[in-house]
A and B are shown apart, each in its own frame.
Chain A
Amino acid sequence: MAEIIISQIITGLSIASILLLVALGLAIIYGTTGVINLAHGEFVMLGAYSAWVLQHYAGIGLFEGLALVFVLVGFCGLVIERVVIRYLYDRPLDTILATWGVGIMLQQIIRLTVGGELRYVEMPASLSSSVGVFGIEISTFRIFILVVSAALFGVTWYLMYKTNVGMKLRAITQNREMASSFGINSDSVYSMTFAYGCGLAGLAGALVSPLKSVSPEMGSAYVVDAFMVVVLGGVESLLGTVASSFILGEMNGFLAFLSNDTMAKAIMFLAIIVLIRFRPQGLFSKKIRG
């Protein structure tokens, strides 16, 4: 019995780690700039394709390629921010349409250039085994994903709360005009934030690619997951994102264990709808003076 419970907790954790990985970039962008980035899933997809291209054409393994994937997808994000998003900061609702359009274009660009076939990324050989934890066999790669998402969260938290850029970003989030009048260049801080968030999404895509299939449409599933996590956690709270991925991951794991994945998904959506009916700000939102 204890074994089953531990095994379910671990299953839940590995679902949670992927949720966190995918949602972190969105939480940063949505939580600070207010841009509702519906192209988030496509940045995840770009990350997966970057990992595939690096491995397939340049022979660079998943490990070695991670930094490069982050830079590549981050750069893509930067370009899109410069060309489209920056004109929409004061019109958050328009960002929905604009980013959705960008998402469709990215999907079609990949389909036209790389082709629509499903691709796969080879798992690093050192991680393709499994190890015993508390008497339960668990995939080494899943543990690796757990560690990486924890580390990425740590880095992001440090950037937000312990660095100069992070402080400026938080100032802009509270009041953009006021921050600008104190000499903070809000344009460049927002660009960097958007690029960073996209880079994180790219990393997420590269990291899940050995476990899942890589296709131009893969993004649509992830963007739903990411929004689910961010909405539940509360948009302005980084810790809320972690907590809500944990809750959703464990909930998914246990519900799927008790019934099946179809039911688990349905119950989770229902729970979130009920929750935002009564607590639209999410579980962990902080009070910020507007």
Chain B
Amino acid sequence: MKFNRRSFLKGTVAAGAFTAAGFPHIWIKDASQAFAAGGEIKVGVLFSLTGTTGIIEESLNKATIMAIEEINANGGINGMKVVPVVEDPASDPATFAEKARKLVLSDRCVSTFGSYTSASRKAVLPVFEKRNNLYWYPTLYEGRECSKNVIYTGAVPNQQQDEFVPWLVKTFGKRWSLIGSNYIYPKEENNYCKKLLQELGAEVVREEYVPLGHSEFSSVVSKFRSDKPDVIFSTVVGDSVVALHRQYRAAGLDPETMPMASLTTSENEVAAMGGDAAAGHFTSAPYFQVYDSPENHKFVDAYRTRWGADKVTHFVSESCYFQVKMFAQAVAKLAPSDIDPVNIREAVKGVELMAPQGRVRLDGETLHTYLWPKVGQCKADGQFEIIKQSPTWLAPDPYKAYENQTCTEQGLKEV
């Protein structure tokens, strides 16, 4: 081989790259530095502030920041301040993964609170699993996940449906029409719903999915009219919820005889469609803004004082708020030198606290949360009236629709 300057340079670069890849510890600064240093605990806050889901995620960011501020105002955790590192992943799953990597690797956050959509959670999951860090996910979702690196504080299908579906069958009847947006969440929810309906001897007259962002519901509405179902079970999300409700109402259909029962319509969606279009329909969730409890009054008042009197709280912003408090309780149990993601995960198992929705508990097996299912009926003023609530908290079971699988402390168990 002839040795000239070009091949020398190439060789040097290649050797350098090999060294960097082979001995990463010499390149990563402060690899041995403790997570909680200088009286500060860094946490990531990863909600989109721009892009398609920016509006709803902004409210999650606000609830999270407010909870952190409250903790710091009360003297922090064992005297240490919680420092939020806020990133904007712009509603894009790839950006979520990139920002998550930054929060975990260069900011060395001990936990990250984030995500609204399942797509963004799935995108960051490998980052947290590979580095054995901890992600806190506040949104209700379709279940079927059993990660040791995610704390789930939103409802899974059994928590939204176990009380809701039998009650609807009893009150309205056995002919059901299922309508959802065309992606994983509605399909999994409907999967579980069909299972419940079968046990109850009820019948699904139609199951249909519309494209995400769909806004022309004339065909769907005309099918409602000809099928005359007793209940329309809706898992339509985003702008489509607004279009569906407004066109349902314009067509002169009546919620008294053919109510829509939704798992996704919160105060936030109702504000966007107008109370008149939402009035009379039902939603199942662990939290509604009108829920009467001292903790909730405090939460709603604090939220409005901090962010504006016209702001609404809803079932995802509530879990954003209480999951930060759970984090604080878990960290408070640890000595400063022990604060790391794995110890926090072990410490949060079985933690209980009074959330705005009632007393909640983190399940040590599944890392999901015990919640209080409620059924709300929407009124013309844009708020819900809680017409039914569970007498006890309900254990999370992310694999309830799949009998041969269970989520355990050791991971997913298949029989």
What's the least CB distance linking A111 to chain B, in Å?
A: 8
Q: Are A120 and B242 in contact (CB under 8 A)?
A: yes
Q: Are B225 and A116 in contact (CB under 8 A)?
A: no
Q: Are A221 and B252 in contact (CB under 8 A)?
A: no
- Check if A155 is an interface residue, CB within 8 A of chain B: no
Given contacts A7-B226, A123-B250, A139-B250, contact A264 B219 (CB under 8 A): yes
Q: Which residues of B contact A119 (CB under 8 A)?
A: 272
What's the least CB distance linking B48 to chain A, in Å?
A: 11
Given contacts A218-B239, A260-B210, contact A137 B218 (CB under 8 A): no
Interface string of B211-251 (1 = CB under 8 A from A): 10111101110110110000000000001001100110111
Report B318-355 residues with CB < 8 Å from chain A CB: none
Interface residues of A (CB under 8 A from B): 4, 7-8, 11, 14-15, 18, 116-120, 122-123, 128-130, 137-139, 141-142, 210-213, 215, 217-218, 221, 252-253, 256-257, 260-262, 264-265
List the 3 shortest-distance A-B pairs measured between CB atoms, nearest first.
A130-B252, A118-B272, A256-B219
Given contacts A14-B218, A119-B272, contact A261 B251 (CB under 8 A): no
Q: Are B211 and A137 in contact (CB under 8 A)?
A: no
Q: Are B243 and A212 in contact (CB under 8 A)?
A: yes
- Check if B389 is an interface residue, CB within 8 A of chain A: no
What's the least CB distance linking A259 to chain B, in Å?
A: 9
- Check if B273 is an interface residue, CB within 8 A of chain A: yes
Nearest residue, chain B, Cβ from A129:
B252
Task: From B209, B211, B218, give the contact of A142 (CB < 8 A).
Answer: B218
Task: From A118, A130, A210, A221, give the contact of B55 (CB < 8 A).
Answer: A118
Interface core residue of A11, A15, A119, A213 (most chain B CB under 10 Å): A213
Q: Are A261 and B222 in contact (CB under 8 A)?
A: no
User: How many residue pairs, one in A and one in B, have C-beta atoms under 8 Å apart?
Assistant: 100
Q: Which residues of A contact B214 (CB under 8 A)?
A: 261
Interface core residue of B215, B247, B250, B252 (most chain A CB under 10 Å): B250
Given contacts A11-B222, A213-B242, contact A139 B272 (CB under 8 A): no
Q: Which residues of B contact A122 (CB under 8 A)?
A: 274
Interface core residue of B182, B220, B246, B273 (most chain A CB under 10 Å): B246
Q: Which residues of B contact A4 (CB under 8 A)?
A: 226
Q: Are B218 and A7 in contact (CB under 8 A)?
A: no
Q: Are B250 and A215 in contact (CB under 8 A)?
A: no
Q: Are A7 and B52 in contact (CB under 8 A)?
A: no
Q: Which residues of A contact B55 (CB under 8 A)?
A: 116-118
Q: Give 8 new A-B contacts, CB below 8 A, not counting A15-B218, A212-B246, A262-B210.
A: A120-B277, A130-B250, A137-B252, A138-B251, A213-B215, A213-B272, A213-B273, A261-B208
Given contacts A120-B246, A129-B252, A130-B250, contact A261 B211 (CB under 8 A): yes
27 A–B contacts, CB within 8 A, in A order: A11-B219, A15-B216, A15-B218, A117-B271, A119-B272, A120-B272, A128-B249, A139-B250, A142-B218, A210-B250, A211-B243, A211-B247, A212-B242, A212-B243, A213-B239, A213-B243, A213-B246, A218-B239, A221-B213, A252-B219, A253-B219, A257-B219, A257-B222, A261-B208, A261-B214, A261-B216, A262-B210
What's the least CB distance linking B324 to chain A, in Å?
A: 25
Interface string of B171-215 (1 = CB under 8 A from A): 000000000001000000000000000000000000011110111
Task: From B216, B222, B249, B274, give the contact of A18 (CB < 8 A).
Answer: B216
Nearest residue, chain A, Cβ from B240:
A213
Q: Which residues of A contact B271 (CB under 8 A)?
A: 117
CA distance A142 to B219 in the complex (A): 13
- Check if B166 is an interface residue, CB within 8 A of chain A: no
Q: Which residues of B contact A213 (CB under 8 A)?
A: 215, 239, 242-243, 246, 272-273
Q: Which residues of A contact B222 (CB under 8 A)?
A: 7-8, 11, 257
CA distance A221 to B52 in the complex (A): 13
Q: Which residues of A contact B251 (CB under 8 A)?
A: 130, 137-139
CA distance A68 to B381 in the complex (A): 30
What's the least CB distance linking A104 to chain B, in Å?
A: 13
